[in-house]
Structure 1
Amino acid sequence: MTEIHLTNTRTRTKDPFAPLDPANVRMYVCGPTVYDRAHLGNARPAVVFDVLYRLLRHVYGADHVTYVRNITDVEDKIIDRARERGIGIDELTRTTTEWYHQDMAALGVLPPDAEPHATGYIPQMVGMIAALIERGCAYAAEGHVLFSVESYPDYGKLSGRSVEDMVAGARVEVAPYKKNPMDFVLWKPSAPDEPGWDSPWGRGRPGWHIECSAMSHALLGASFDIHGGGADLMFPHHENEVAQSCCAHPEGSFARFWLHNEMLQVEGKKMSKSLGNFFTVRDLLEGNWSGGWKVPGEVIRFVFLGTHYRKPMDWTEAK
């Protein structure tokens, strides 16, 4: 059998890949927050991990790979965008999810084997939060539930950051109910006009980080093979996933291999609406960008794959 080697963020080494169960190779990749069209930066991880998915299917067999990519359909950006447009949250997330599927299909991205929506796993999130409180790894305060970073000694090992860097990088809200500035939200209260669910801590909604931990555990178990995503998610999102998952399910190891793709630039500069170099996938497909011509999905994919996934990618008109 072909031997695959993967650069593992967790170990900082390129390691031979041996799945826990060759009959069920399991991979989880953080998917989109559905409030708008997918931009180029959103598309890069979808293409990168589509290539890995295809490779795993080729080596182990299409029926022996389980690829999970989630949809975040409850989040503050979604709430704000629905208010701006004067439409319901369900309508916004349904429409933008359809857009995402269409755009990724145009890039030749295969659909994952499972695509859990966060709103479909609220009971699992509540259960996981309750387990963390019971284990002394989380605490309730003023309608919120927060993870206690001090309860997980290995916090920071995935990203390789010092405590000082993490405090600066987390952009955490300074809240009086936090025991430690680094503690992060697992559950927060919802206003009457915001989506919310009943819980032991009052009506509210989950924090962003708990979503992926609950969905990956429900679909892949306490230990699985690969977790992927953009390098911008390494901290705090993936660091927080590791901490809460390992504390809630100490019987498992969570993800054994961590893979991160680097970021994307446009003509050598960070993609930004203020610089006028911000493109969605649909803009390129339909010619609504500075180049003015329609870019086939195959070309977008080809340009993406012309740069190694762990290197910053520069999208240029010349390419």
Structure 2
Amino acid sequence: MTPNPAIEAHGLGKSFAAVAAVDGIDLLVPAGSVFALLGPNGAGKTTMVRLLATLLRPDRGHAEIFGHDLVRQATAVRSMIGLTGQYAAVDESLSADENLRIFGRLLGLSRRAAAARSTELLEQFDLTAAARRPARTFSGGMRRRLDLAATLITLPPLIFLDEPTTGLDPRTRQSMWSTVRELVAGGATILLTTQYLEEADALADRIAVIDHGSVVATGTATELKDSLGGQVLRVELGDATRLAAAVAVAERLTGTTARISPEGAALAVAVPDAEAAMAVLLEYRRTGIPLRGFGMDRPDLNEVFFALTNRSSTKGAA
């Protein structure tokens, strides 16, 4: 028999007043995988997690967790999941060890078992040296590790990580990525929400891009990149004051929206082939727009994300 998927949702929806925070989402997450919900702030990622974690009741649609109905069998669902949210769930006045022991006792462990599990998790997440310190003295990265440790006291088969690395430094983020990989290698399923494109690219077996409460694309990172078709022309300008003119030329000749670098001196635009890229470059030379360099390569998740959410926003505004 084929095992039940970790998550199966059909037409799941949740509205607040007149706003549909989650608007008819379908989702299939195989057991033993990492599935990323990728989208901008306000896209509906956290609401989706709260629905699947039984913290909110859906207004419409149906979902199952390992074959258990999300609404009718909510107690059974809760026994199979762990949730690390965007904000610390620990008591900041208590030490790391005290927090983990309390969580263990609340989850049904004996006093001795809770103490032993706390010791294991503190070592696993490199918190042993800070075990007796109040959580309020912890750095952001330490708090995130303590939150995740609390989630893993009973090793649930499905773990929700809601933007787990937001605000962390690169070294701590890499450490969290290693932990996620270890959990999946041990048999867990991870549903990860993130705004970081490189995070989804590095960790996820499959990605759902969400915008305005709806899934606008689903696939592996490679499939999503290939969905744009063609290649991307990247141009570095010799004169940043000509950026607006360079963008106008690129968008007029390609019919696609250009993405501007944060520094404002470079742009990237999707092109179907080398001939289209050459047309843009020749027009830059004809109109006197100086270039420091240019190149072509495959789209990355930045281009995919920008293109998909831009289309979604345009569609919603129409």
Judge same fold: TM > 0.5, yes or no. no
* Structure with greater strand share of residues: 2
TM-score by length of structure 2 reads 0.32
Larger radius of gyration: 2
